[in-house]
Amino acid sequence: MGTPDTDGAAKLAASLFDRLFEATRDDPGVTRIAYGEGEQTAFALVAEAAATSRVERTFDAAGNQFLTLPGLDRSKRIVIGSHLDSVPHGGNFDGAAGVIMGIAAQKALADAGIQPAFDLTVACLRAEESCWFPHSYIGSKTALGVLENGIADQVRRSDTGQTLAEHIDALGFDADGVRRGDAWLDPATIAAYIEPHIEQAPALIDADLPLAAVSGIRGSFRYREMVCHGEYSHSGAMPRHLRHDAAVASARLVVAMQALWERLEAEGEDLTVTFGQLGTDPANHSFSKVAGEVRLCLDVRSQSKETLGRVENELKAFVDTIGAETGTRFDLGPRSGSEPAMMAPHLVAMVNEACRAKNLPVHTMASGAGHDAATFANTGVPSVMIFIRNANGSHNPDEAMALEDFNAALAALTQMLMARAAAWTLK
C-alpha cells in the first residue's frame, strides 16, 4: 500500500492557516482567548475543514472537540492534537499547526480511500496557555479526566474575573462533569498521541533542519504571585544598615537563582530559571523612597523531577537567608507546575523511520517548553511530538513557520499513519 498524495491536504492546510489568521487577527498578531471568541472561532473553522473528510464530531464535558476518521479497528484510536488558544497578540502557528496537520492527514487518507489501523481522532484542546487560567494543560487534563481538584473553581483574573467552571457552563458544556472527572478519552484505548508543534526556540533554524522528533518535555514549578515585603523609607535619610529594602532583597534572589542555574548547568543538569515579571508598586513607589514591596514571578523548568525538587529546596533556603540578612520577608504565594514527561521510544523511532522513507533528515531533540503531550504521557498514553522549524520563537506575532517545512512534517506524519496495527502496540 503506497503513501497517499498529500498535495490536496497541504492546500487545505494553507487555506485554513490563512482563514484562521484573518478570523482571529488582533494586531499585532492573533488573540484566541481560551473559552472566548477567538478559540470558539478556531474550533468552528477546523471542524468545517474536517467535514470534507466525513469525520465524526464530538465534544466532551469541558468543550474539547474531537474529530474522528473511522479506522479498521474501532476499539482503539490514534490521537493527533494540540490546542487552539493563543497568548494575547501571539502568532498564528503555536498550537494551531498541530490541529491543522491532523486535519490535513485525515484528508490525505480519506481522499485516497485509506482507513488507518485504528480510529484517527484530531483533538482540538482548550486552554493550554496558562496566561488565561493559572494552570497548565487544562484541555488535555479535562479530556482525560485528570484535572486536579479545585481547578474548575479557579478565577480568571486576566479579564473576566469568572471561574473556569463558569466559562465552561457559559458555552453550554458541563462543569459538574469536569469536577467529576468525566472523560471522553480513555488512556487504555489510545494507541498513540501525536502532537505536531512549531519549535519555540531557534535550534532547528540553527541546525538547518525542517523538523525533529521530540524525546521528552520539561516539567516545571511556578510561583506567579511572589512578593518581597520590606519597609518604605526615605532614600536620603535612612542608613544602609537600617534599611529593609525589598528591591535589594529581590535583586539578590535573582542573582542567587542565576548562579544556581549556572552551577547546575555546569554539572550537566537540564534547567531553565526565569523571572518573567519583577516590579515595585506604582501606587507607592517613588524616586526618593526605599522600596517597601516588590512583586515577582518565577518559572523553573527541567526534564528531571529530582532537579526541580533540588532547585525548589534551594529557592526556599535563599528566601529565608536573604530575608534574614536584609530585614525583608518573601511570600512565595500559590504554587503551580507540571510533571516532566518522556516520549515513547517506539513512537520516536516511527517518526524517524517515516522521515527516512520520505528522504527527510532525521533528528531527535528535547522540548524546553511544556505541551499537552506531557499530560498524555504522564497518564500512560504512548506519546510523541513532531517539531517543525520556526523562526522568531513563539508567543509573539512574528512566528514564522514555512509551509514547506509544515508540508515535510505532514508527509512524514502521513507516512507514519500508514503503519499497521502491530507497530502501534509496541511498548
Residue 2 lies in a domain: no
pLDDT of residue 134: 85
pLDDT of 392 above 70: yes
Pair 204, 114 in one domain = yes
pTM, entire model: 0.84
Residue 55 lies in a domain: yes
CA distance 136 to 143: 13
How far the first Cα of the chain sits from its last, in Å, is 25
Residue 16 lies in a domain: yes
pLDDT of residue 369: 86
pLDDT of residue 338: 84
Pair 316, 332 in one domain = yes
Residue 75 lies in a domain: yes
Residue 100 lies in a domain: yes
Pair 185, 258 in one domain = no
Pair 231, 204 in one domain = no
Pair 231, 188 in one domain = no
Pair 126, 162 in one domain = yes
Q: Residue 63's CB: how many other CB atoms inside 10 A?
A: 26
Residue 1 lies in a domain: no
pLDDT tens digits, 148-180: 999 999 999 888 999 999 999 999 999 999 999
pLDDT tens digits, 282-324: 999 999 999 999 999 999 999 899 999 999 999 999 999 999 9
pLDDT tens digits, 10-59: 999 999 999 999 999 999 999 999 999 999 999 999 999 999 999 999 99
pLDDT of residue 426: 66
Last residue of a domain, one of 338, 363, 392: 338
pLDDT tens digits, 89-113: 999 999 999 999 999 999 999 999 9
Domain containing 292: what range? 220-338
Residue 256 lies in a domain: yes
Last residue of a domain, one of 338, 354, 381: 338
Last residue of a domain, one of 304, 338, 372: 338
Nearest to 101 by CA among 124, 118, 119: 124
pLDDT tens digits, 122-142: 999 999 998 899 888 999 999
pLDDT of residue 337: 86
CATH code of the domain in which 243 resides: 3.30.70.360
Average pLDDT for the chain: 96
pLDDT of residue 2: 57
Q: How many CA atoms lie within 13 A of 364 on its CB side?
A: 15
Mean pLDDT value of segment 267-275:
95
CATH code of the domain in which 383 resides: 3.40.630.10
Pair 152, 92 in one domain = yes
Pair 28, 162 in one domain = yes
pLDDT of 427 above 60: no
How sure is the predictor about 404, in pLDDT bands with cuts at 50, 70 and 90? very high
Pair 332, 349 in one domain = no
Residue 25 lies in a domain: yes
Beta bridge partners of 274: 299
pLDDT of 1 above 60: no
Pair 40, 95 in one domain = yes
Pair 289, 334 in one domain = yes
How sure is the predictor about 351, in pLDDT bands with cuts at 50, 70 and 90? very high
pLDDT of residue 118: 97
Quote the number of domains for the chain: 2
Identify each DSSP E strand in 103-256 by its residue range.
118-125, 190-198, 211-217, 219-229, 233-234
CA distance 426 to 229: 54
Pair 252, 242 in one domain = yes
